[in-house]
Amino acid sequence: MVLNIIEDMDLDACVLRGMENIFYLTGYRGSEGTLAVTRKGLFLLTDFRYITYAREATQGIQVVEIKLLKQSLLELCREHGIKKMGFDSFHTTFNMYQIWKDALQDVLFVPLGNRIEEIRKCKGPEEIESIMRAVRIATNAFTEVFERLHQGKTEKEVANDLDFTMRRLGADCPSFNTIVASGPRAALPHAEPTNKPIMEGETVIIDFGAQVNGYCSDETCTISIGKTNDTLKEIFSVVNDARIFALANIKVGLSIRELDGMVRGFIKDAGYGDFFRHGVGHGVGIAVHEAPAINSSSEGVFEENMVVTIEPGIYIPELGGVRLEDMVLLTARGPQIMTKIKKDTLRRI
């Protein structure tokens, strides 16, 4: 895969710092490392803290213990005659780039853009199975936690319960910081859980996911506590209908931007266009947010074996909000909805 990029861009090698891309290419998931890909092989450069794990986690890759990254890269470039090096510009800091340029003055550095992220868009069978396992664990955890949820519990208590339950059921960890936002705070799309108690009449947005084998799930449910007012009932209905509309229309070959426009238009026609400000969805895999982004500026079409979310939402300041999110696997036979929680029946007394 990366060798094709090297050939297409007429490079001698690539150097990668993004840990998600390194995991994708090697299976190594430490918190520090650099991957050099030459025409003759892969070299994982890391320090003494990770050297044993790196050798256990990888196969067919030369693991190199380093003290100074710039010195190890210089030696690698001299040994392999590297004069033109691609680098993942999304994940390499400007400071790191300057250090490399100063230390490797005979090497031309060429930004790769999002070429590796583009390769990751379409998932293989093992990736899909890991994502499905993550979805199942998250589903079972939410089902347990939902039964324990009641008025007076705080947002933090619900989030902590969900995180612990996902781990207990087999998740490596939550795939992101769990969001629990109730009442007026549900108008904040990415609110952090607080000590606010959940009260009657409120909607509660719960956005959660599990990570399994390095792959993520991502799902959002909005529950209601007791009886909600007519406005909250209406926006819940609009969001749910928009979700169903999107799931019915997404398919391989459809313009990504077009789907975003269709769903956005659906919510606008219902009178709530000003209160839906984020994209309709995004890709999910090693990262919980990865290509493709489903928004008004997206390029390209939906492709077979993409895994994406559909997550319309309406957020009204000082009142509350609703977001409903499902994960979808795109196949030649049509979309396969991976998430199984029924979004329209989640009410607690």
Give yes or no for residue 80 having a pLDDT over 60: yes
- What kind of fold does domain 125-348 have according to CATH? Creatine Amidinohydrolase (3.90.230)
Query: 2-118 and 125-348: same fold?
Result: no
What are the pLDDT digits (tens) for 18-43? 999 999 999 999 889 999 999 989 99
Q: What is the mean pLDDT of residues 233-242?
A: 96
Residue 304: C-alpha distances to residues 114, 119, 121, 218, 290 (Å): 19, 13, 10, 20, 16
Q: What is the mean pLDDT of residues 141-164?
A: 96
User: Which residues make Cβ contacts (< 8 Å) with residue 291, sequence separation at least 6?
Assistant: 114, 117, 118, 120, 121, 283
Pairwise CA distance, residues 297 & 308, whole Å? 16
- Predicted confidence at residue 348, as pLDDT, reads 56
Its pTM stands at 0.94
Sign of CA dihedral 66, 69, 71, 77: positive
Local confidence band at 82 (pLDDT 50, 70, 90 cut-offs): very high
What share of the chain has pLDDT > 90, as a percent? 94
User: Which residues make Cβ contacts (< 8 Å) with residue 9, sequence separation at least 6?
Assistant: 86, 110, 112
- Predicted confidence at residue 226, as pLDDT, reads 87
**Are the C-beta atoms of 322 and 205 separated by less than 8 Å?**
yes
Sign of CA dihedral 257, 263, 265, 268: negative
**Class of 2-118 in CATH:** alpha beta
How many helices and strands, by DSSP H and E, does the chain display?
Answer: 10, 20
- Predicted confidence at residue 219, as pLDDT, reads 98
Q: Which residue would you say has higher pLDDT here, 226 or 231?
A: 231
State the first-to-last Cα distance of the chain, in angstroms, to the nearest integer: 53
> Domain segments of the chain: what residues?
2-118, 125-348
What share of the chain has pLDDT > 70, as a percent? 99
What are the pLDDT digits (tens) for 176-207? 999 999 999 999 999 999 999 999 999 999 99
**Chain-centre distance for alpha carbon 313:** 18
**Are the C-beta atoms of 247 and 320 separated by less than 8 Å?**
no
**Are the C-beta atoms of 39 and 68 separated by less than 8 Å?**
no
Local confidence band at 349 (pLDDT 50, 70, 90 cut-offs): very low
**Are the C-beta atoms of 287 and 127 separated by less than 8 Å?**
no
Local confidence band at 2 (pLDDT 50, 70, 90 cut-offs): confident
Give yes or no for residue 74 having a pLDDT over 50: yes
**Chain-centre distance for alpha carbon 105:** 36
Q: What is the mean pLDDT of residues 157-172?
A: 98
Q: Is 349 exposed, middle or buried (0-12, 13-18, 19+ CB in 10 A)?
A: exposed
Q: What is the mean pLDDT of residues 152-176?
A: 98
Q: Is 197 exposed, middle or buried (0-12, 13-18, 19+ CB in 10 A)?
A: middle
User: Which residues make Cβ contacts (< 8 Å) with residue 281, sequence separation at least 6?
Assistant: 246, 294, 308, 309, 310, 311, 325
The average confidence (pLDDT) of the chain is: 95
Give yes or no for residue 157 having a pLDDT over 90: yes
| 124: nearest Cα among 256, 285, 6 | 285
Local confidence band at 1 (pLDDT 50, 70, 90 cut-offs): confident
Q: What is the mean pLDDT of residues 126-135?
A: 98
